[in-house]
Amino acid sequence: MQDSDKLAIAAHLHVLLRRKTGRVTDTEWMAANAEYAMEIVRFARQHAVEDGVPELAEWAERLDRAVHEPAPAPQRRPLLETASQAVRQRLAPAVVEVPRYVGGIR
């Protein structure tokens, strides 16, 4: 899962926890650190049951899945394609912009 998606889930769960339990969390750390995220998941699930807030359990589940889902593999371009593009860019003539004078005044 993309880091931005994890951050969005963490932010939503942060707002829910703040409103429903008064708990303040660190959304960026939650998205970056699996151990911290899983502790927040545990806390949210516990309060979902104790306080009768199913929305907390739903977002805790989303965060749990996001933490355990492998990151997408970066897309790679073939080396030959990358090298040929670099050569084309290097050999391309430079575009020189000539200033335009209006009314014969320089």
Q: How many domains does the chain have?
A: 1
Position with higher pLDDT, 10 vs 73: 10
Instruction: Reply yes or no on whether the pLDDT at 106 is more than 60.
Output: no
Position 49 in a domain: yes
Position 81 in a domain: no
Position 41 in a domain: yes
pLDDT of 94 reads 66
Position 22 in a domain: yes
pLDDT of 102 reads 67
> In terms of residue numbers, what domain contains 25?
3-68
User: Any residues with CB less than 8 A from the CB of 4 and at least 6 apart, and which?
Assistant: none
Distance CA 92, CA 87 (A): 8
Report pLDDT digits (tens) over 59-96: 999 999 999 988 777 777 788 888 888 888 877 766 66
pLDDT of 45 reads 97
Position 43 in a domain: yes
Question: What 3-state DSSP class applies to 36?
Answer: helix
Position 16 in a domain: yes
Give me the sign of the Cα torsion angle 19, 23, 28, 34. Answer: negative
Position 97 in a domain: no
Position 84 in a domain: no
Task: Provide the whole-model pTM.
Answer: 0.66
User: Any residues with CB less than 8 A from the CB of 53 and at least 6 apart, and which?
Assistant: 16, 20, 47
